[in-house]
Structure 1
Amino acid sequence: MSGVAEAGLTTRLTDWMRTRSWAIAMTVAIVITCGGLVILETARQRIASEYEAALEARSATVQLSDLDRHLAQMSAHESRYLLTSSDSDARSYCASAIDIRRAVGSLDSYFRRAADSAELASFTQIAALIDERIGGGARAMQRAAPHPLDLSACGTVDAEGAVDASLVTSTLALLRDNEERRAQRALDASRADQRVSTFAAAGLSALNIVLFILLFRNLGIQIDSQARVQKQLITQQEELDQLVNERTRQLEALGWHLQAVSENEKTQLARELHDELGAILTASKMDVAWARRKLQDADPVIAEKLARALATLDQGIALKRRIIEDMRPTVLANFGLVTALRTLADEAAQRNGWLLDLQLPADEIQLDEQTEIALFRVAQESLTNAAKYARATQVTIVLTAGDGEVSLHIADNGIGILPADLKRTHTHGLMGMRQRVAARGGRFDIRRGDLRGTDIRVVLPVANVGTAQTQDAARTDTPAGHASFEDG
C-alpha cells in the first residue's frame, strides 16, 4: 500500500511539475537574474573601489616623485645661494620649501587613510627629516648671508643638526616603490574581478537562455497539446452537432408522421362517426318520430316522452357534428382554407363577443391538404387561447400568399402573452403549433404586441398542387362531404 501511495504521489507531483513547469522556469529565471544583478553590482563596486585605490596609489607615487624633485631643487637653491649670496636664490629656496610642505601634508592625509602602520611610520619619519632638512638649510644660508635674510616664508627654522639627504631620498624611493606595487595589485585585482564578472554574466546569461529555451519549448508543447485538444473538441462538437441535427430531423420527421397519423385517425374516426353513429342516430330519430306521431293522440304521456327523446337525439346529433367538425372540419374539406378560416373566426367572434377584422383573399388559394390543415389548426389553437386567456375584445386575422409561401397573422388586443410563457416547455398548445409549422419547413413566431396583446405569425412554403377546380373536385370526393346526411 505504501508503494502504491508513493507511486500516486510521484505521479501527482510529476503532473503538477508538468503543468506548472513554465511558472517554475520563470521563477528560477527571475531569481537567477536578480541574483546575477546583485553579484554584478557587488563586483562593479569592488572594481570601482580597487580602481580608485590604484589611482590614489599612482597619485601618491607621482606626489612622492614631485616631493623628491622639490627637495633636489631646494638643495640646488641652497648651494647656489652659498656660492653667490643672491637673494633670489634664498626666495626660491623658501618657495621650494612651501611646495615641499604642501606635498608632505597631502601625502600625510593619504598615508593616514590608505597605508598600513609600517608605511605610515616610515612616512612620519621622512616628514620629520624633511622638516629638519628645510630648517638646516635656512640656518646655513642665514649664517652665510652678508646681511640678514627674511626667511619667514620658509616656515620654522629652529631645527638643529644636519640631515642625511641620501636617507631621505632612499626612504622616498622605498615609499614610491610600495605605492607602485599597491597600485599594480589594485589594478590586477580589478582586472581579475572584471574577468570573474564577465564569466559570471556570461554564465548567468547562458543559464537564462537555456531556461527560456526550455520554457518556450514547454510552452510550445502545451500549445500544441491544447491545439490538439481543441481540434478534438471541435471534431467532437461537429459530430455532436451532426448527431443533434440528425436526431432533430428524425424527431421532426417523427413529429410530422405522428401528426399525419393523428390527422388520418381523426379523419377515419370522423368518417366512422359520420357513417356509423350518424346513421344510427338518424335511424333512431326517424323511428322515435314515427312512434310519436302514432301515439300522439292515443297516449299523450308517451308521446311527450318520445318528444323529449327526439330532443335528446337532436342534441346527440349536434354533439356528433361538433366532434366531427373538431376532428375534421367539413368546411375545410369541402370549401377550402379561406372559407374555413372565415367560418372559424365568425363562430369564435359570436361566442366571445369579439370585434373581428378579417383580411382574407377574395378567392380560394391553391394549397396542398397538409398545409391547409396546419394553418387551420394554428388558427384554431390561437383563437382557443385568445378565448381562454387573452380577455381580448378585437381579433385580427390576415392571410396572404405569394412568392412561393403563404403567411398567416393572428393578433389580439388582450393582456398579451408573458415572456415566461414563451420559455415554458410544457405549453402543449404552443409546442403543437411550433411542431406543425416546423414539420412543414415553415417559420413560427409568437410575441407580445407592440402595445398589448399577442402576435402570432406563421410562414409556410407553398407547393402547387393543381388548379382550383381540381382541388374542388378532390374535396367533393372526400367522405366528409356527406355531412348533411345526419340532418335527415
Structure 2
Amino acid sequence: MSHAPRAVPPRTAHDEAPTRAHAGLARINEWMRRYSWLVAMTVAIVITVGGLVILESGRMRIAAEYETALDAKSATADLSALAADIATLSAQGRAFALKPEPAYKAQFEQTAAHVRRALATLDAYYRRIGDDTALASFAQISAAANEEIERGAARLAAPSQPEARPASDDATLDAALSLLRLNEEQRAQHALDASRADQRISTLCVGALCALNIVLFVLLFRNLGIQLDKQDRVQRELITQQEELDQLVFERTRQLEALAWHLQSVSENEKTELARELHDELGSILTASKMDVAWVRGKLRETEPAMAEKLTRAIGNLDQGIALKRRIIEDMRPTVLANFGLVTALRGLVDEAAQRNNWAVSFDLPDEDPKLGEAIEIALFRVAQETLTNAAKYARASNIRVALTMDQASVSLHIADDGIGIRPQDLKRTQTHGLVGMRQRVSARGGRFEIERVKPHGTSIHVSMPRERVHGDAVATPARSAA
C-alpha cells in the first residue's frame, strides 16, 4: 500500500516575521559589538559638550546674580546716604534760618548737589532693573527730596521768614527710604541665595559629568580589552594554523624530495641498464653486421664493383650507427666517469662541448681524481652536462671556465660563461633551462645550488655539496634497491 507524500505547508508571512526579527536583532548586536566603542566615544563627547554648555550658562547666571546682589548692596548704601543727606539738608536749612551765615549756605548748596546726584544715580538704577513698584516709590521719594531742596533754597533766599514744615513729612520720607532699603537688601539676599543654588547645581553637574564620563571610559576600555583579547586569540589561532601548515608543507616537501630522488635514481638505473643493453646487444649486432658486410664487400670487390661500393657505404653507415650508439651510451651512463673518475669525465665533457661550439676553455681542476662516491659524481656530472647544454643553446658564449674545488667536508663545482647572460625573469621562474632538475639533484644530496647573472655579461653556476652522505641517501637507498 503506497502513501502519498505529505505536502509541506508553505511558509507564511506570519512564520517569516520571527525569523526577520531574529535576523534584525543579530545584525544590531553585531553592529553594537563592532562599533560600541564609537557609540561610547560619541556619547561621551556629546555629554561633555552638553555639560560644558550647562556649566557655562550656570557661570553666566551666577555672574549675573552676583552683579545683581552687588548692585542691590550699592543701591542700599546709596539710599542710606540719601537719607542722611536729606536729614543733613533739613538741619542745615533750619540752622541757616536761625543763624544766616554764608558757611551754612555753602554747606546747604553742596549737600543739595550731592542729593541731586544720588537721586539721578538711583533713578537710573531703578529704571535699569525694571522694578515698577520700587520705581514708583522712588519717584515719591525723589519728589519729596526735590521739594525739600526747593524749600531750603527758598529759606536761604528769605531767612527772616521761616516756613513751618510738619514733622510728619520727615517721618514719611524716612519710612519710604527704609522700605526701599529693605527691598534692596531682600533683592541682594535673594540674588546671593540664587547664586549659591546655581553653584550647588553646577557642582552636582560637574560631579555627574565626571562620573558618567568615567563610567563610559571604563566601558570603552573594557570593550577594547575584550576586542584586544579576541584579536590576540585569533592571532594565536592563526599562528598555530600557520605552524601546522608550515609543518605540513615541510613534510610534503620532504616527501616530494624523496620521490624526486627516487625517480632520479630509477632513471639513472634505467639509463645504466639501457646503456648496458645497447653496449652488449646492439653493439655486438652492429659489429657483427659490419664484419659480415666487410667480408661480402671483399668477395665482391673484383667481380661486382658497384655492389662493393654500395657495401662500402653500408659499412660507413654502420660506423656512424656504432658512433651514435657510443654517444648515446656516454650520455646515458658515461663510461669515463665510471672508469676514470669525475675530473677526467668533466675534462672530456667540456672539451667535447668546446669542439662542437668553438669555445675557449679554461680549467681549474685537481690533478688527481678524488673518490667522492657514485651519487655525488653523477649529480655533479649531470649538472655540468645540463649547464653546457644550456650554454650551447642560449648563451652564445665564446669562453667557458670550469673549476672543481674540494676540502675534507664539501666539494664545489663552478661553471661560468661570457654569453648574453640569463634573464632576471628566468631566475625568478626557475622553470627554464632545466634549472628545476639541477636544483633537485643538488638539494637531494643536501647541497646548495646558485645561479646568477654576471656583470657585464654572462652566467655563473655554483654548486656546493657535502662529501659525506646525508639524510637524502637514506631515503634514496631503498628506492635504488626497489628499482
RMSD, aligned CA: 2.1
Q: In 2, Cα distance between the equivalents of 1:239 and 1:463?
A: 32
3-state SS of paired residue (1:397):
strand
Q: Match of 2:265?
A: 260
Contact 1:132–1:160 (CA under 8 A) maintained in structure 2: no
Structure 1: distance between partners of 2:337 and 2:386:
16
- Correspondent of 2:146 among 115, 123, 131: 131
Shift in Å, 1:383: 0.8
Q: Which runs of 5+ in 1 are unaligned?
A: 147-158, 466-488
2:92: which partner in 1?
77
Q: What is the deviation of 1:311?
A: 1.7
Rounded Cα–Cα distance in structure 1 between residues aligned with 2:314 and 2:34 = 89
Amino acid at match of 1:21: S
The equivalent position to 1:63 in structure 2, one of 78, 85, 101, is 78
**How do 1:109-120 and structure 2 match up within 5 A?**
109-120=124-135
Matched residue type, 1:280: I
1:102 maps to a residue whose letter is: R
Give the alignment partner of residue 321 of structure 2, picking from 296, 316, 320. Answer: 316
**For residues 63 and 147 of structure 2, what CA distance do their matches in structure 1 show?**
39
Aligned to 2:53: 38
| CA distance in 2: counterparts of 1:42 and 1:203, whole angstroms | 17
Alignment of 1:211-250 (within 5 A): 211-250=216-255
SS of the counterpart of 2:434?
helix
| Equivalent in the alignment of 2:30 | 15
- Which residue identity does 1:325 align to in structure 2? E
Shift of 1:427: 2.2
Distance 1:403 1:291 in 2: 59
CA distance in 2, matches of 1:297, 1:109: 162
Q: Aligned-pair distance for 1:366?
A: 2.9
- Is 1:452–2:457 an aligned residue pair? yes
Contact 2:90/2:148, CA 8 A, preserved across alignment: no
Match of 2:376 among 371, 375, 379: 371
How far apart, in 1, do the equivalents of 2:212 and 2:247 lie?
51
Find 1:102's aligned residue among 105, 117, 122.
Answer: 117
Distance in 2 between residues matched to 1:366 and 1:89, nearest whole Å: 146
Q: Which residue of 2 aligns with 1:476?
A: none
- Alignment map for 1:420-439 (pairs within 5 Å): 420-427=425-432, 429-439=434-444
Deviation at 1:108, TM superposition (A): 1.0
Task: Say yes or no: does 1:291 pair with 2:306.
Answer: no
Cα distance in 2 for partners of 1:141, 1:423 equals 124
CA distance in 1, matches of 2:160, 2:107: 15
3-state SS in 2 of match to 1:144:
coil
Q: Take 1:267 and 1:161, find their aligned partners in 2: how far apart are those partners?
A: 156
Q: Is the contact made by 1:368 and 1:464 (CA closer than 8 Å) also made in structure 2?
A: no
1:347 and 1:428 map into 2 onto residues whose CA distance is 20
Mapped to 1, the partners of 2:260 and 2:104 lie a distance apart of 134
Q: Give distance in 2, aligned partners of 1:442 and 1:464.
A: 11
Q: Distance in 2 between matches of 1:414 and 1:268?
A: 37
Partner Cα distance (2:245, 2:405) in 1: 39
Q: Identify the residue that residue 483 of structure 1 maps to in structure 2.
A: none
Q: Which residue of 1 aligns with 2:350?
A: 345
The equivalent position to 1:300 in structure 2, one of 289, 300, 305, is 305
Q: CA deviation at 1:416?
A: 1.0
Among 389, 397, 403, the alignment partner of 1:392 is: 397
Aligned equivalents of 1:360, 1:174: Cα separation in 2: 130
Letter in 1 for 2:355: Q
| DSSP 3-state at the match of 1:367 | coil
**Structure 2 spans left out of the alignment, 5+ residues:** 1-15, 471-483
Partner of 2:415: 410
Give distance in 2, aligned partners of 1:211 and 1:403: 72
- Where 1:457 maps in the other structure, the secondary structure is strand
| 8 Å contact from structure 1 (residues 404, 461) kept in 2 | yes
In structure 1, what is the Cα distance between the partners aligned to 2:398 and 2:227? Answer: 67
Aligned AA for 1:293?
G
Quick one: structure 1 residues 61 and 464, their matched pair in 2 at CA, closer, same or farther if it must change by over 3 Å?
closer
Number of residue pairs the alignment of both structures matches: 453
- Residue identity in the other structure for 1:30: I
Structure-1 residue corresponding to 2:481: none
Counterpart of 1:224, as a letter, is: D
CA deviations 1:244-288 (Å, max 9, x no partner) are 111111111211111111111111111111112112222222222
1:57-87 CA distances to partner (integer Å, 9 max, x unpaired)? 1111111111111222223323333344343
Deviations 1:14-72 (A, max 9, x none): 11110111111111111111111111111111111111111111111111111111222
**Post-superposition shift, 1:403?**
5.2
Deviation at 1:194, TM superposition (A): 1.4
1:482 aligns to what? none
Q: Please tell me the residue identity of whatever aligns with 1:387.
A: A
What is the distance in 1 between the residues matched to 2:152 and 2:469? 142
Residue by residue, what CA displacement relative to the aligned partner does 1:285-311 show, whole Å, maximum 9, x if unpaired? 222222322333343343333322222
Distance in 1 separating the partners of 2:362 and 2:83: 129
TM-score, normalization by structure 2: 0.89
Kindly indicate whether residue 195 of structure 2 is the aligned counterpart of residue 195 of structure 1: no
Off by >4 Å, runs of 4+ in structure 1: 159-163
- Per-residue Cα deviation, 1:179-231 (whole angstroms, up to 9, x for no partner): 11111111111111111122122112211111111110000000000000001
The CA deviation at 1:160 is 12
1:270 pairs, out of 250, 265, 275, with 275
SS at match of 2:449: strand
Distance of 2:273 and 2:24 partners within structure 1: 72
2:390–2:433 CA contact under 8 A, matched in 1: no
Provide the C-alpha distance between the structure 2 equivalents of 1:55 and 1:464, rounded to a whole number of angstroms.
Answer: 105
Aligned in 2, Cα 1:187/1:33: closer, same or farther, shift over 3 Å? same
> Does the 8 A contact of 1:447 with 1:454 survive in 2?
yes
Identity of aligned residues (%): 61
Amino acid paired to 1:198: T
1:281 aligns with 2:300: no
Change (3 A) 1:309 1:54: same
- Number of the residue aligned with 2:65: 50
Equivalent-residue separation in structure 1 for 2:408 and 2:315 (angstroms) = 53
Q: Displacement of 1:145 after TM fit?
A: 6.0
Check whether the contact 1:256–1:436 (CA below 8 A) recurs between aligned residues. Answer: yes
Of 115, 137, 146 in structure 2, the residue corresponding to residue 122 of structure 1 is 137
Equivalent of residue 6 in structure 1, options 4, 18, 21: 21
Residue 129 of structure 1: CA displacement? 0.9
CA contact (8 A) 1:136 1:161 kept: no
- 1:161 CA displacement: 7.9
CA distance in 1 between counterparts of 2:226 and 2:255 reads: 42
Letter of the 1:443 partner, please give it: R
Which amino acid in 2 is paired with 1:104?
L
